[in-house]
Amino acid sequence: VIERVLGQGGMGLVLQARHAQLGQPVAIKVIRPGAGVDAESNARFLREAWAAATLNSEHIVRVSDVGVLPSGAPFMVMEYIEGQDLARLAAARGPLPWGEAIGYVLEACVGLAEAHARGIVHRDLKPSNLFLAQQSGTVRLKVLDFGIAKAPVARSAVTAGHDVPSSSGGALALTGAVGLLGTPYYMAPEQFRSARDVDGRADVWALGVILHELLAGALPFPGRTLDEVLAAMAAGAPDVRRGRPDVPAGVAQVIQACLQPDLSRRVPTVGRLAAALAPFVPASAALAERAARVLGEPAVGPVHDGGEGDVGHADGGPAASDAGGDVDARSDG
């Protein structure tokens, strides 16, 4: 039974509904007929949605059903969750305490680790797809939108209904992005070349962008056109400590390692990313261990094989003085 519209964009609707027999609340994502989505995109939506339905992590919004309406529009049924996404949180509060921001990224790493272990790459991570769900008196981050992660970005992100939230809470119109699969501000360089030839390192890049944005209150690669974003990327990622001197140098180094255009120099997995960040928030170390276990990796170890920007060993790279002082930062909201 459909109860209300939760949200809508250029491609589809998200509806709140209630299971007719069980009485349980659910959310239904439907691709709207006439939204300019072709048969190939609909088929891709269904493939990705079925893949997402195999994921059971508590840090991923669970998909319980996938199908096609009589109109031909594909849909998926997901668990209904209450709370807010990181885009809204950042818009309301501005730059976050670094321990809090790292904690959110670590939770995302746990969910993504299961997806990557199954060969599923999100490809469209951004703050609005990281949701802080309030469940049973606790707040847990859940990754959203595995099912439409490959949805095309229209020429104008705003006029197409694909708003890209800025840290100030507004929406940025991005022109010249026709045909891309993802949100350009968070896309890794290899995604601009080919949406198909990407792996989990594209999601690592996006997490680096997100962590920088949560800490600095601004995107590392800003721009109002695709050309401006690409030019910012070519100039290299700025040091997050320029605007946030309280952020440990080791955290800034991890972000830089996530934002390496050269895949051989980028943090290779979300497990390695979690291992590199966990020492800065010891209370969240169990999250890094879970991510590593899912991927069959050691909980600590070198983030990558070396070269400039090497983060080093997760248990020895950050100085002890860098890893303290903000362990309980998440308690403020």
Taking only the tens place, the pLDDT of each residue in 187-240 is: 999 999 877 789 999 999 999 999 999 999 999 999 989 999 999 999 999 999
Q: Please tell me the distance from the alpha carbon of residue 174 to that of residue 185, in angstroms, as a whole number.
A: 9
Question: With 50 as the cut, is the pLDDT of residue 127 above it?
Answer: yes
What's the pLDDT at 181?
A: 57
Last residue of a domain, one of 79, 98, 113: 79
Q: Average pLDDT of 302-317?
A: 40
Q: Average pLDDT of 317-327?
A: 35
* Sheet containing 138-143, strands listed edge to edge, beginning at the edge strand earlier in sequence: 83-85, 130-135, 138-143
Question: With 50 as the cut, is the pLDDT of residue 33 above it?
Answer: yes
Q: Please tell me the distance from the alpha carbon of residue 54 to that of residue 36, in angstroms, as a whole number.
A: 28
Q: Average pLDDT of 85-107?
A: 97
Question: With 90 as the cut, is the pLDDT of residue 241 above it?
Answer: yes
Contact 222, 231 (CB under 8 A): no
Residues 139 and 256 in one domain: yes
Q: Average pLDDT of 23-34?
A: 82
Residues 70 and 141 in one domain: no
Last residue of a domain, one of 48, 79, 110: 79
Contact 245, 122 (CB under 8 A): no
Average pLDDT, the chain: 80
Last residue of a domain, one of 25, 56, 79: 79
Q: Average pLDDT of 293-302?
A: 75
What's the pLDDT at 152?
A: 32
Query: Model confidence over 159-201: pLDDT tens digits?
Result: 233 333 333 333 343 444 444 556 899 999 999 987 778 999 9
Residues 116 and 60 in one domain: no
What's the pLDDT at 313?
A: 36
Question: With 90 as the cut, is the pLDDT of residue 13 above it?
Answer: no
Residues 162 and 26 in one domain: no
Contact 231, 223 (CB under 8 A): yes
Q: Which residue is listed with tokens 């991923």? A: 60
Question: With 50 as the cut, is the pLDDT of residue 48 above it?
Answer: yes
Residues 30 and 162 in one domain: no
Flag the least confident range among 13-27, 84-98, 207-221, 252-266: 13-27
Q: Is 40 helix (H, G, I), strand (E, B) or coil?
A: helix
Residues 181 and 268 in one domain: yes
Q: Please tell me the distance from the alpha carbon of residue 46 to that of residue 51, in angstroms, as a whole number.
A: 8
Contact 194, 150 (CB under 8 A): no
Residues 55 and 121 in one domain: no
What's the pLDDT at 300?
A: 60
Residues 220 and 133 in one domain: yes
What's the pLDDT at 303?
A: 46
Residues 327 and 272 in one domain: yes
Residues 44 and 190 in one domain: no
> Which residues are annotated as catalytic?
124
Residues 184 and 52 in one domain: no
What's the pLDDT at 329?
A: 33
Q: Please tell me the distance from the alpha carbon of residue 171 to that of residue 10, in angstroms, as a whole number.
A: 14
For residue 296, what are the CA distances in angstroms to 112, 113, 289?
14, 10, 10
Question: With 50 as the cut, is the pLDDT of residue 84 above it?
Answer: yes
Q: Please tell me the distance from the alpha carbon of residue 271 to that of residue 290, in angstroms, as a whole number.
A: 8
Question: With 50 as the cut, is the pLDDT of residue 79 above it?
Answer: yes
Domain holding 318, by residue range, is 83-332
What's 34's domain CATH number? 3.30.200.20
Check residues 303 and 116 and name the one with the higher pLDDT.
116
Per the structure block, which two tokens stand in for 303? Answer: 């983030």
Alpha-helical segments (H) within 217-295? 226-235, 249-258, 270-277, 285-295
Residues 87 and 57 in one domain: no
Contact 113, 291 (CB under 8 A): yes
**Total of domains in the chain:** 2
Contact 186, 125 (CB under 8 A): yes
